[in-house]
Amino acid sequence: MARVAMRDLNKMYDEVHAVIDVNLEIRDQEFVVLVGPSGCGKTTTLRMVAGLESITGGQISIDEKVVNALPPMDRDIAMVFQNYALYPHMTVYDNMAFGLKMRKFDKAEIGRRVKEAADILGIQELLKRKPRQLSGGQRQRVALGRAIVRHPQVFLFDEPLSNLDAKLRVQMRVELKKLHERLGTTAIYVTHDQVEAMTLGDRVVVMRDGRVQQVGDPMELYNEPANRFVAGFIGSPAMNFASVRVAAENGTLWAESEDMRIKVPPRVAQRLARYTGKETTLGVRPEDLRIARDGDDRDLGFDVAIEVVERLGSEILLDVAAGATTMVASVEPTVTAKVHETTRLVINPERMHFFDNETEAAI
């Protein structure tokens, strides 16, 4: 049973408050991803769990045991680094055996475990080679193998796929997911790539400037972002934002700006009511915008001029402008839109998001 708990975790570097009041309970066998832009504190948090950084405030416990004062060698964890950190002067076998040797396993047991891990990762033929003779993908597997042989309670991943080329990255992502399903060890994974976060995590923790912005499973974050930052960070292409004013008219609420006038659906109107007369931010994802058809509710659409047409094959991205507001819409590949044309877009009423302009929280 390997649960990891962070309570009121804080880290100060001289003047910089890098990690602020992080509270997180990670369940046994869970794959948790810490995601955010660089400098958000995700790597620092990971390193504190590893024991590579000292903890300024709060505590970290692994399986109910507070590990604040334990050096890395006494915490039963394994880590995979972005640069693999393979020991250049040792063979692959010795790289994988090193941790077991440090923990005084006997030779037979070491041999058994290394073989087992090599089998799982498909690197049996590489055991006698040195790291410099391996490709990037192979090195990554060896780094994984080194972590697996130890049978640790927790795996830590520090942006392990960032150094791989795009194609290899996608491949390894899938393999990592399969690996986790097979091994079932609790894992904490740090990345700046939200695609990795969404595809790999059982739960995703979005961080910014040292604080946790939201914790939840991927779909929760996607469909119900807690604030504007999470809404804009998760999902690609990013959510569109427009500054609008809430106006009341005949019992319905409207979101208005110079460039559009959208009717607020009743379910959202309840929450938006107290913002009447105020400026808020409307958020809508590109895939929730489509070209208007006959029969569409006129109150849910607005006219735009098409500026750029990006054909991706599976979809078309339209960069449009409604007056001063620019947006991106993702439409079916069969749409015949051309640059400089004007057209009308319609918003899916179920998928409108509003954010408070001051707190940036979702309304």
Of 107 and 178, CB closest to other proteins: 178
Stretch binding other proteins (CB under 8 A), from 178-186, 220-228, 239-247, 347-355: 178-186
- Would you count residue 263 as binding other proteins (CB under 8 A)? no
C-alpha distances out from residue 63 to 50, 120, 285, 348, Å: 14, 27, 40, 45
- Would you count residue 220 as binding other proteins (CB under 8 A)? no
- Would you count residue 69 as binding other proteins (CB under 8 A)? no
Cβ distance 107 to 176 under 8 Å? no
C-alpha distances out from residue 49 to 52, 138, 339, 359, Å: 8, 27, 52, 30
Question: Residue 91 CB, nearest distance to other proteins (Å)?
Answer: 13
Residue from the set 20, 27, 98, 300 that interacts with other proteins by CB under 8 A: 98
Residue from the set 5, 52, 321, 335 that interacts with other proteins by CB under 8 A: 52
What is the C-alpha end-to-end distance of the chain, expressed in Å?
38
Question: Residue 179 CB, nearest distance to other proteins (Å)?
Answer: 8
Residue from the set 45, 185, 227, 343 that interacts with other proteins by CB under 8 A: 185
- Would you count residue 178 as binding other proteins (CB under 8 A)? yes
Torsion of Cα atoms, 180 then 182 then 185 then 189, to 10°: -10
What string marks each residue from 107 to 146 as x (binds other proteins by CB under 8 A) or -? ---------x-xxxxxxx---------------------x
Judged by CB under 8 A, the number of residues near other proteins is 43
Question: Residue 18 CB, nearest distance to other proteins (Å)?
Answer: 17
- Would you count residue 203 as binding other proteins (CB under 8 A)? no
Stretch binding other proteins (CB under 8 A), from 15-23, 76-84, 159-167, 319-327: 76-84
Instruction: Kindly state the DSSP code that residue 27 receives in the 8-state scheme.
Output: P
Residue from the set 3, 27, 129, 151 that interacts with other proteins by CB under 8 A: 151
Q: Return the CA Rg of the chain.
A: 25
Rounded CA separation 128/15 (Å): 47
Residue from the set 102, 219, 324, 339 that interacts with other proteins by CB under 8 A: 102
- Would you count residue 184 as binding other proteins (CB under 8 A)? yes
Rounded CA separation 59/76 (Å): 17
Stretch binding other proteins (CB under 8 A), from 102-110, 162-170, 256-264, 349-357: 102-110
Residue from the set 5, 12, 20, 85 that interacts with other proteins by CB under 8 A: 85
Cβ distance 348 to 329 under 8 Å? no
334, burial (CB in 10 Å: exposed 0-12, middle 13-18, buried 19+): exposed
* Nearest CA among 168, 166, 185, 169 for reference residue 117: 185
Cβ distance 249 to 276 under 8 Å? no
- Would you count residue 170 as binding other proteins (CB under 8 A)? no
Residue from the set 22, 33, 50, 262 that interacts with other proteins by CB under 8 A: 50
Cβ distance 210 to 55 under 8 Å? no
- Would you count residue 74 as binding other proteins (CB under 8 A)? yes
Q: What are phi and psi of 316, to 5 degrees?
A: -120, 130
- Would you count residue 89 as binding other proteins (CB under 8 A)? yes
- Would you count residue 99 as binding other proteins (CB under 8 A)? yes
Query: Residue 164 CA to chain centroid, in angstroms?
Result: 18
- Residue the block writes with tokens 């690197």: 123
Interface residues with other proteins (CB under 8 A)? 2, 50-52, 71-79, 81, 83, 85, 87-89, 98-99, 102-104, 116, 118-124, 146, 148, 150-151, 156, 175, 178, 182-185
